[in-house]
Amino acid sequence: MWAGVVFTLSIGAFLVWPWLGMASRAVRYGALFLQGVAFTVCAYCAWFISLQPELYTLWIFLFWLVLPLLVWVPAFFGGQLLWRVARLRLPGKWLVFVVGVFALAPALWWARQQYQQLERVLAELPLAQRKSLPVLVRTLPRTYMLERVAGVNFIYHTSPEFIFDGWRPPLHDPLLVICRQLHRKSGLLNADYHFLLALNDSEYRRWLHPSLQLYHSLFPTRPVKADCVCSRNRDGLSYRRWNHNPSDRP
């Protein structure tokens, strides 16, 4: 996914910077630009973790485990990036860095335009037709964001911790997360969180079945289950064993 490429390049530039002291000015400017992107990545990660704010305070009680402290790594790296640029002796350093910080803004604008288009299409449908599979398949525009939105809860996760043990969709798209947060009050594309909390694991999967059918109908050549199971919780086998055939009866 594009996010993995951005993360690898930007954080890679952050890590190799101490060895670029004798590199050409062009190389250093390029690395500085990528570190601006890295600052955006760090800011996003810190904000994403804050969607579940108790993760930031958990370390107070579990500091001896070290692992809870890792939630502060994005904030620490972001501060280190600012400190590094402030100490750098390179003409135009802040301009290059800031351009890197906002380099992904056009992608967010593009994704949000598609998200708003989906909201407009759904808002124009009568309430009774918003859950009609034939109507949605006929009406919804096939866009990048539609694929992301349609895959929420079984391909893409949009919160730091999923609410079912072992059931955290493994893929992550920052554009999807940001758009959902910016438009969360509309309710058109967001499931009721409290409703989901009331479901047990098997009930959740039955509730999910219409979403699988919709995704499969919209994107028949795409799998409805991600191959990667790297983002698993305690019961890591549940996602892998999940019977995800959208043609099965719930």
The per-residue pLDDT for 80 is 95
Least confident of 67-71, 138-142, 221-225: 67-71
For residue 200, pLDDT over 70 is answered with: no
Give me the residue spans of the domains in the chain. Answer: 2-103, 106-241
Stretch 47-64: mean pLDDT, rounded?
A: 76
The confidence band for 70, taking pLDDT boundaries of 50, 70 and 90, is confident
Stretch 209-229: mean pLDDT, rounded?
A: 84
The confidence band for 92, taking pLDDT boundaries of 50, 70 and 90, is very high
Least confident of 127-136, 140-149, 158-167: 158-167
Name the H helices within the chain: 2-16, 25-50, 54-62, 73-87, 93-101, 105-124, 133-139, 144-150, 174-182, 193-197, 201-218, 237-241
pTM here is 0.85
